[in-house]
Structure 1
Amino acid sequence: MDSPTPFQSTHPTELISVDPLELEFPLELKKQICCSFQLSNKTDKHVAFKVKTTNPKKYSVRPNNGIVPPRSQSNVTVTMQALKEQPSSLKCNDKFLVQSVAAPPGATPKDITPEMFNKEAGNHVEECKLTVAYVDPPSPPSPVPEESEEDTSENATAVSKGSSEHQITSTKVSRGSSEHQITSTKANDLISTLTKEKQSIIQENNRLQQELKLLKRGPRRNNGGGGLSIYYVLLIAVLGILLGYYLRSL
């Protein structure tokens, strides 16, 4: 990349346009900073370009020359070397010069020669000057406010209390459900036992009634037979009383 003397004023270009015309570099020490500009070819010709700077040791340009096809754009990246000291002001006197010239149809960067940009040889070379400015670096993002240890401790205690209360409530509900299940099981067992006893008493009562009827129909043979009838009558009476007790308890 050439290092010419400070550039003279230039006339507007017709082959390519350059955007932006001022390169802005955030002012950060000990850090390489990049900035780019765009070349736009609005013609139907192939255009060769070349980039110069007044301070080639400070900047690196990629690409520093090339071909912009018809009706297309090309980007150029400028890298400023890390600054070791803070500049006295944001004003920078560095300059860049973009030279452009019509190239043969289908030309490639390999076809570019220094003679193409030689005005003394009668070539029509257009030039566009770019300035450089330092700008303030972007502000860092605002830190997220952190909760104090006291607030964090209170929040943790509240969460712990809420969790403990929830566990106690769950335990009470579980105990109540278990007690309800035990009570329901006992009631069902008692009902089942009483129902079986009721059925057994009814069957026994029916059997005794049948036997009583048979005894009433038959003749009395002796006193022993009469005593047996009285025994059955008393047994039936007792069973009737027990049956009534169980029926009332259901």
Structure 2
Amino acid sequence: MGGGGCNSGRLFSVYPEELVFEPELGKACFCDIKLINTTKHHVAFKVKTTAPRKYFVRPNKGVVQPWDSQTITITHQALKQYPEDKRSMDKFLIQSTIVPATTDFDELPQDIFTEDDGRQIEEQKLGVVYTAAAERLEQEDEPFGMTQMHVQLERRLREELDAALRQNQQLRRELDSVRTARRRKGGFSLAFAVFVACISLLLGFILNLLST
């Protein structure tokens, strides 16, 4: 798994594909993950971890609307000493399944994420990585101007990604409306479909930039 990539082709695209924490002794550290619903369905999710006493996950469950996204904040409890290994043995599991559009997560049955009733459950695993001491020293020695430039570039790319996601969601809703009208009236705008495809390509380009 790549640390900056986006796991696509499923109910959810997950960014990033592994959790990177920068621990400071005596302080809690945080990491955000974003779930992007890439389907026309309502999708329920639940986040599990092999070390529940070490992490707080908020929210750890919910329902994401079509073409929408959900940011999850994972809090790592304060460490008394720096980890010896960069890669932790801790793991996270994101379970997801399609639910009816009127579903409220509080109304879902307890066994919603089991396959006993034939329901399709998708699972995505995420590892945990710590920023190594050597990497922290390199970052401290890096020229301030270069660091600021990287921070500003990443912030701008994230803003463009969020804007593209919102526009893509709106265009897909409009496209669904056009398709509905087409079935009723028999007409369809080829130019509009091409425009939606271009927006999707732009979104993929921005995700690739963030993964580098």
TM range (shorter): 0.5 to 0.7
Query: How far off its partner does 1:14 sit?
Result: 2.3
Query: How far off its partner does 1:29 sit?
Result: 1.1
Secondary structure in 2 matching 1:110: helix
Query: How far off its partner does 1:87 sit?
Result: 1.8
CA distance 1:121–1:13, change in 2 (3 Å): farther
Looking at structure 2, the residues matched to 13 and 119 of structure 1 have their Cα atoms a distance apart, in angstroms, of 21
- Structure 1 portions without partners, runs of 5+: 1-10, 144-250
1:167-214 per-position Cα deviation (integer Å, ceiling 9, x unaligned): xxxxxxxxxxxxxxxxxxxxxxxxxxxxxxxxxxxxxxxxxxxxxxxx
CA distance 1:105–1:92, change in 2 (3 Å): same
The amino acid across from 2:101 in the alignment is P
Which structure has the larger Rg over C-alpha atoms? 1
- Could you say which structure has the higher helix fraction? 1
Looking at structure 2, the residues matched to 140 and 65 of structure 1 have their Cα atoms a distance apart, in angstroms, of 40
The alignment of Structure 1 onto Structure 2 pairs a total of residues equal to 133
1:139 aligned to 2:140? yes
1:76 aligned to 2:77? no
Looking at structure 2, the residues matched to 140 and 34 of structure 1 have their Cα atoms a distance apart, in angstroms, of 23
Structure 1 consecutive aligned stretches of length 4 or more whose deviation exceeds 6 Å = 140-143
1:89 aligned to 2:85? yes
Looking at structure 2, the residues matched to 91 and 40 of structure 1 have their Cα atoms a distance apart, in angstroms, of 26
Alignment partner, residue 112 of structure 2: 116
1:16-44 per-position Cα deviation (integer Å, ceiling 9, x unaligned): 11111110000311110010111011111
Secondary structure in 2 matching 1:117: coil
Looking at structure 2, the residues matched to 31 and 113 of structure 1 have their Cα atoms a distance apart, in angstroms, of 37
Using structure 2 for the length normalisation, give the TM-score: 0.58
Contact kept? 1:13, 1:126, Cα under 8 Å: no
Looking at structure 2, the residues matched to 45 and 73 of structure 1 have their Cα atoms a distance apart, in angstroms, of 12
The amino acid across from 1:139 in the alignment is E
Choose from 35, 49, 56 the match for 1:53: 49
- Structure 2 portions without partners, runs of 5+: 1-6, 145-212
Contact kept? 2:8, 2:14, Cα under 8 Å: no
Query: How far off its partner does 1:141 sit?
Result: 9.2
Contact kept? 2:16, 2:34, Cα under 8 Å: yes
Choose from 27, 31, 50 the match for 1:31: 27
Alignment partner, residue 100 of structure 1: 96
Looking at structure 1, the residues matched to 50 and 103 of structure 2 have their Cα atoms a distance apart, in angstroms, of 28
Looking at structure 2, the residues matched to 43 and 12 of structure 1 have their Cα atoms a distance apart, in angstroms, of 11
Contact kept? 2:15, 2:35, Cα under 8 Å: yes
Query: How far off its partner does 1:110 sit?
Result: 1.8
Query: How far off its partner does 1:108 sit?
Result: 2.2
Query: How far off its partner does 1:142 sit?
Result: 8.3
Contact kept? 2:37, 2:65, Cα under 8 Å: yes
Higher relative contact order (CA 8 A, sep 6+): 2
Alignment partner, residue 246 of structure 1: none
Looking at structure 2, the residues matched to 73 and 103 of structure 1 have their Cα atoms a distance apart, in angstroms, of 16
Secondary structure in 2 matching 1:88: coil
Counterparts of 1:202-217 in structure 2, within 5 Å, are: none
Looking at structure 2, the residues matched to 130 and 43 of structure 1 have their Cα atoms a distance apart, in angstroms, of 21
CA distance 1:26–1:122, change in 2 (3 Å): same
Counterparts of 1:1-250 in structure 2, within 5 Å, are: 14-136=10-132, 137=136, 139=140
